[in-house]
Amino acid sequence: MTDQFRDRPAIQAVDLTRTYNLRKGWLRPTFETVEAVRTVSFSVYPGETFGLLGPNGAGKTTTIKMLNTLLLPTSGTARVLGFDVAKDPVEVRRRIGYVFGGDKGLYDRLSANDNLRYFAELYGVPPREQRSRVHELLDKVGLSGRAHERVEGYSRGMRQRLHIARGLLHRPQVLFLDEPSLGLDPVAARELRRTVAELSGEGVTTVLTTHYMAEADELCDRIAIVDSGVIRALGTPDELKGSVARGTVVEATVRGADETHLSRLRDLPSVQGVAVTRTDGSETVLTVRGENGTEIHTQVVSALRGLRITRLTSREPTLEDAYVAIVGSGAEPGATDRKTSPEAAV
């Protein structure tokens, strides 16, 4: 991130809320109010890559759509580059790009070159700049050699790179990436991450939603973990990891574990949390977070006495461990950034 944490945010959300009224039944319909986003507040600074993580239905995409003017907030305010998303949507749209995962948004029977020329017209790119801008972006995303082929013959990874090129045509200062690597193979996902990292280096402010923890850890300067429409934690990847486990993570694959064994683990003095994953067979994977690597390793083995342990490893905590702990507990662990707290955003 360039000029880290400049004084004026590129994006500022204050108590954003979005509700929906769902109709149930036909003869005697009833209506239910669903809160997709509840009083979300945060700031994103120029040149920063900001991540929004959370389970399906957590409110990530709804938040992005409010920020890029596709949805009006039910309450609260948001400003992008100083413009209110509800009062000045045209000014906001001129300055942002939006890239989403999936196959929609491109014309299959047109070539990549023709797709970008068409969207350049829609985005108001001056005619004298269109050809050079399209060539520049196709080169940036690695599609120069396939520029004149129909998009219908493109792989998913190539389509996604073309989506990014489309979102950058008008040189946006803010780019929203909504699960851009969804369904990509590892090679295509790596190329996508490289492109996003280059954009950050060029000073583009990026908001990224993803389900891939390694991707968020590699790309994001700061991350907000969202669950049930609420921000549960906000901080750098290292702050989030440290908030749930400052020592060691022990993973044990066992057979025959029951609640008695889990209680023994949770009662250990150096244990901060235990996650349980059932496999398709009779094995259970226990992820134990705690302090003092050698000590906790010994304590876990002792607590699981009588069980068959087929695998036992120790490692440093990852962002995935932090995510599981925060979303699983439903409580904020305290890893917040003072500059982006609700008080600072007002």
Question: pLDDT of 17-43, one tens digit each?
Answer: 999 888 887 778 888 888 899 999 999
Query: Is residue 160 predicted with pLDDT exceeding 50?
Result: yes
**What confidence score (pLDDT) does residue 337 get?**
41
Give percent of the chain with pLDDT exceeding 70: 88
Q: What pLDDT is stored for residue 336 in this prediction?
A: 41
Question: CA torsion angle for 334, 338, 339, 342 (degrees, to 10)?
Answer: 70
- Do 147 and 113 contact (CB within 8 A), yes or no? yes
Chain Cα centroid distance, residue 276: 24
pLDDT at 196 over 80: yes
SS3 224: strand
pLDDT at residue number 313: 82
pTM above 0.85, yes or no: no
Q: Which of 150-159, 221-230, 309-318, 327-336 has the lowest mean pLDDT?
A: 327-336
Q: What pLDDT band is residue 334 in, cutting at 50, 70 and 90?
A: very low
pLDDT score of 4 more than 60:
no
pLDDT of residue 331: 47
pLDDT score recorded for residue 221: 95
At 169, give phi and psi (nearest 5°). -55, -45
pLDDT of 114: 96
Q: What mean pLDDT comes out for the span 297-301?
A: 81
Mean pLDDT, range 2-12, rounded to an integer: 70
Query: Distance (Å, rounded) from C-alpha 140 to C-alpha 81?
Result: 25
SS3 state at 122: helix
Looking at the chain, the whole-number percentage of residues with pLDDT higher than 90 is 46
Residue 301 C-beta-side C-alpha neighbours within 13 Å:
10
Look at residues 249, 237, 207 and name the one whose alpha carbon lies nearest to residue 323. Answer: 237
Q: How many residues does the chain have?
A: 346
Of these ranges, 109-118, 178-187, 252-261, 292-301, the one predicted with the greatest mean pLDDT is 109-118
What is the Cα gyration radius of the chain?
23
Tokens 């985005």 appear where? 123
> By CB neighbour count within 10 A (0-12 exposed, 13-18 middle, 19+ buried), where does 24 fall?
exposed
For the chain, domains (ranges, CATH) are 11-236+331-345 (3.40.50.300), 246-316 (3.30.70.260)
Contact assessment for residue 34 and residue 23, using Cβ atoms and an 8 Å cutoff: no
